[in-house]
Amino acid sequence: MDSNHHSNYKLSKTEKKFLRKQVKASHTLLRHEGIQTVSYATQSLVVANGGLGNGMSRNQLLPVLEKCGLVDALLMPPNKPYSFARYKTTEESKRAYVTLNGKEVVDDLGQKIILYMNFVEKAQWKELRPQALPPGLMVVEEIISSEDEKMLLESVDWTEDTDNQNSQKSLKHRRVKHFGYEFHYENNSVDKDKPLSGGLPDICDRFLEKWLREGYIKHKPDQMTINQYEPGHGIPAHIDTHSAFEDEIISLSLGSEIVMDFKHPDGITVPVMLPRRSLLVMTGESRYLWTHGITCRKFDTVQASGSQKSGIITSDVGDITLSKRGLRTSFTFRKVRQTPCNCSYPLVCDSQRKETPPSFPESDKEASRLEQEYVHQVYEEIAGHFSSTRHTPWPHIVEFLKALPNGSIVADIGCGNGKYLGINKELYMIGCDRSQNLVDICRERQFQAFVCDALAVPFRSGSCDACISIAVIHHFATAERRVAALQELVRLLRPGGKALIYVWAMEQEYNKQKSKYLRGNRTSQEKKEMNSDTSVQRLLVEQMPDMDSPDSASSVPSINDSQEGRCNSWQVSNSKLPIHVNRTSFYSQDVLVPWHLKGNPDKGKPVEPFGPIGSHDPSPVFHRYYHVFREGELEAACQAVSDVRILQSYYDQGNWCVILQKA
């Protein structure tokens, strides 16, 4: 269809359908990325549904585009379901626009998708600056021969008696064998008092001796874990416990290449290619400070040129494509530590830290004490930095407030820095928060706010037309206290009054979409601009396959794909609260979430953080307690409150939300 042709004659039903999809793609691109499509012909086209993120590789898309003319550049942003094509001439791009709009193609997964095209004049895309490997990380290519690889793979007997303590463990998504000591996935450690009989297989000796001579390791390993990964399987980001193992951790990749993601506590992610028959060596900062993990997906984003075997996967949108994963087996070797760790990262070292994580509370008194130390005190310390990160109101909350009748009295319980107190000038809003420092920020902004506890708000019963509670109730440490907080909200409402409640969700991947929290891994970025060529970020168009399915090129682990062996949330009782790795899925409902304080105001005392993630710089790390809610849990808690009915419940960017009304 010519871009103006539809105005000259009556469109057919099919053409109208294609036009609607085409317009939808254009609007989505503008809404999500600020990229303006144009109605006139240019050399450049945005190809909706033709991206790496929904299984379309460069080798598959380029021949389709080249049938319409000479493609000067094909830009494919990583993990995005669209791409950009720049033709040599405008005539060629017009031919592609007419020919390929609504064209059905088959992606690398064998799924049928339909392409939708729009012209673009000029656009920007974000591109990673060249990055270095994490300090202390090394990838040694072709460390063994193909003959040795075959011998090692054949030495692994996955069919042996399951009573054998070295045999396959009952993990959900992969086969695992342990030698020397069993590796415990719930704490990334071993029980040093329970060595396995037999030690490491003799077949490994000559390789380990060689790597010792060549200086890749300083200690001969006495623990080995063999993992077999089917395409689509992976392992969540983690750090092997400092006190459990010596500095060097090495992993041999056999059978297939893989991309492993390394993440710094500040959120920077470095994807590293581990070729077949390569040895990954982690020492120093890369071993002690960065998490490492493998995303569950069947395709990896790799360099298209093939000139780079190992190392960092760059974001050159003109030189990346998809590579189908194969069956991979890893041999990971560790040396069990017999003395405390004295690494250079004391703030995150379990041997050197002064504090230990608190236990799950077993009484109301313990819960109150936990909230005091890991909620109230933390927000007092981080108030300024926290406020600087909380400036954009969430649309659904704005919609709720603007729909209230003029003159309504509204209480914001847990108002933080007051970002919702001034949304609707026609309301009389008053806020309260447990943090004096956050309330002071509200007052500096000329908002009405005061300090109080959400379990005992000093308002008369029935005095409010509406209440909002945004990201508050998940800080209460027992189910009884969470219900009590809901009951207090309802007490404030007049009959017929409404309350909007938001809590953090355990399901950070829902309805085939990752939340902004998971998508928020930061990278060093620079914007690059080029006339009439483009790339961008995110486009949601019909006909896209499931973005979170194991068959998707950009699928990610779901909650049920949690690291095997990790405790379920309802089994946390009588144990230490786990410390969550920022920007990753939750594996427990009750967690401590690190806050890395920037621009630390002088509070007169240092902070001693703990846990598997942190920073070795002087910036302190605080830990906030959260109970993340499962689907249906917030509704169930509301139903335990008297005199209310639920008007609406929904999921909003990683949060479970309820609108309730007092009877």
pLDDT tier at 31, thresholds 50, 70, 90: low
Instruction: Give the Å distances, CA to CA, from 360 to 210, 270, 366, 585.
Output: 47, 34, 9, 20
Same-domain pairing of 194 and 320: yes
**Domain boundary at 120, 153, 173, which?**
120
Paired tokens of 616: 């070795």
H/E element, 589: none
Residue 637 has pLDDT above 60, yes or no: yes
Q: For residue 93, what are the domain limits?
A: 21-120
Res 541: pLDDT:
29
Residues 586-606 have a mean pLDDT of 72
Could you tell me which of 648, 637, 590 has the C-alpha nearest to residue 657?
648
Spell out the residues 6+ positions from residue 45 whose beta carbon is closer than 8 angstroms to its own.
Answer: 84, 85, 86, 87, 93, 96, 97, 117, 118, 119, 120
Dihedral sign, CA of 201, 206, 211, 213? positive
Distance CA 527, CA 34 (A): 14
User: Is residue 605 in some structural domain?
Assistant: no
Res 9: pLDDT:
56
Res 357: pLDDT:
78
With tokens 């057919």, the residue in question is: 12
Over the stretch 16-30, which tens digit does the pLDDT of each residue have? 777 777 777 777 766
Distance CA 627, CA 361 (A): 12
Length of the chain in residues, anyone? 663
Q: At what angle do helices 58-66 and 90-100 cross, to 10 degrees?
A: 110
Under a CB-based contact definition with an 8 Å cutoff, are residues 129 and 526 in contact? yes
Same-domain pairing of 158 and 84: no
With tokens 């359908």, the residue in question is: 17
Q: 10 Å Cβ neighbour count for 23? A: 13
pLDDT tier at 315, thresholds 50, 70, 90: low
Q: Which amino acid is at 23?
A: V
CATH no. for residue 38? 3.30.70.330
Higher-confidence residue: 326 or 126? 326
Distance CA 143, CA 607 (A): 44
Res 604: pLDDT:
38
Same-domain pairing of 94 and 174: no
DSSP 170-223: --SSSEEEEESSPEETTTTEE-TT-PPTT-S-GGGHHHHHHHHHTTS-SS---E
Could you tell me which of 439, 378, 350, 444 has the C-alpha nearest to residue 622?
378
Same-domain pairing of 421 and 342: no
CA 205 to chain centroid, in Å, comes to 39
Sheet holding 235-238, edge to edge: 235-238, 291-294, 258-263, 269-274, 311-312
User: Is residue 171 in some structural domain?
Assistant: yes
User: Is residue 594 in some structural domain?
Assistant: no
Listed in order, strand segments (DSSP E) in 471-589 are 493-504, 509-510, 513-514, 525-531
Residue 129 has pLDDT above 80, yes or no: no
Distance CA 54, CA 48 (A): 10
Under a CB-based contact definition with an 8 Å cutoff, are residues 410 and 466 in contact? yes
Over the stretch 35-70, which tens digit does the pLDDT of each residue have? 678 888 898 888 888 887 777 888 888 889 999 999
Spell out the residues 6+ positions from residue 142 whose beta carbon is closer than 8 angstroms to its own.
Answer: 275, 277, 278
- What mean pLDDT is reported for the chain? 81
Higher-confidence residue: 500 or 263? 500
CATH no. for residue 255? 2.60.120.1520
CA 621 to chain centroid, in Å, comes to 20
Under a CB-based contact definition with an 8 Å cutoff, are residues 304 and 319 in contact? yes
Same-domain pairing of 388 and 256: no
- Residue 376 DSSP label: I
The 3 state secondary structure assigned to 258-291 is EEEEEECCCCCEEEEEECCCCEEEECHHHHHCCE
User: Is residue 540 in some structural domain?
Assistant: no
Q: Which amino acid is at 357?
A: P
Residue 521 has pLDDT above 70, yes or no: no
Determine if the pTM surpasses 0.75.
no
Distance CA 404, CA 429 (A): 12
Of 295-304, 392-401, 403-412, the poorest mean pLDDT is in 295-304
Residue 527 has pLDDT above 80, yes or no: no
CATH no. for residue 489? 3.40.50.150
Res 172: pLDDT:
56
Q: Which amino acid is at 336?
A: V
Res 555: pLDDT:
29
Q: Which amino acid is at 104?
A: E
Residue 531 has pLDDT above 60, yes or no: no
Same-domain pairing of 215 and 158: yes
User: Is residue 592 in some structural domain?
Assistant: no
Q: What percent of the chain has pLDDT over 70?
A: 78
Q: At what angle do helices 364-371 and 479-492 cross, to 10 degrees?
A: 70
Listed in order, strand segments (DSSP E) in 486-619 are 493-504, 509-510, 513-514, 525-531, 590-596
pLDDT tier at 316, thresholds 50, 70, 90: low
User: Is residue 383 in some structural domain?
Assistant: yes
Spell out the residues 6+ positions from residue 504 whose beta carbon is closer than 8 angstroms to its own.
Answer: 471, 474, 626, 628, 629, 654, 655, 656
Same-domain pairing of 239 and 169: yes
Under a CB-based contact definition with an 8 Å cutoff, are residues 117 and 101 in contact? yes
Distance CA 433, CA 415 (A): 6
Under a CB-based contact definition with an 8 Å cutoff, are residues 28 and 95 in contact? no
Domain total of the chain: 3
Same-domain pairing of 433 and 297: no
Same-domain pairing of 97 and 180: no
Query: Most confidently modeled of 118-132, 263-277, 604-618?
Result: 263-277
Same-domain pairing of 159 and 187: yes
Under a CB-based contact definition with an 8 Å cutoff, are residues 523 and 313 in contact? no
Residues 545-566 have a mean pLDDT of 31
User: Is residue 387 in some structural domain?
Assistant: yes
Same-domain pairing of 334 and 249: yes
Residues 71-83 have a mean pLDDT of 80
Under a CB-based contact definition with an 8 Å cutoff, are residues 42 and 121 in contact? yes
Residues 541-567 have a mean pLDDT of 31
Same-domain pairing of 57 and 153: no
Of 125-134, 162-171, 431-440, 521-530, the poorest mean pLDDT is in 521-530
Distance CA 3, CA 37 (A): 12
Res 371: pLDDT:
97
Over the stretch 347-399, which tens digit does the pLDDT of each residue have? 788 888 766 778 889 899 999 999 999 999 999 999 999 999 888 899 999 99
Distance CA 308, CA 277 (A): 15
User: Is residue 455 in some structural domain?
Assistant: yes
Distance CA 354, CA 290 (A): 21
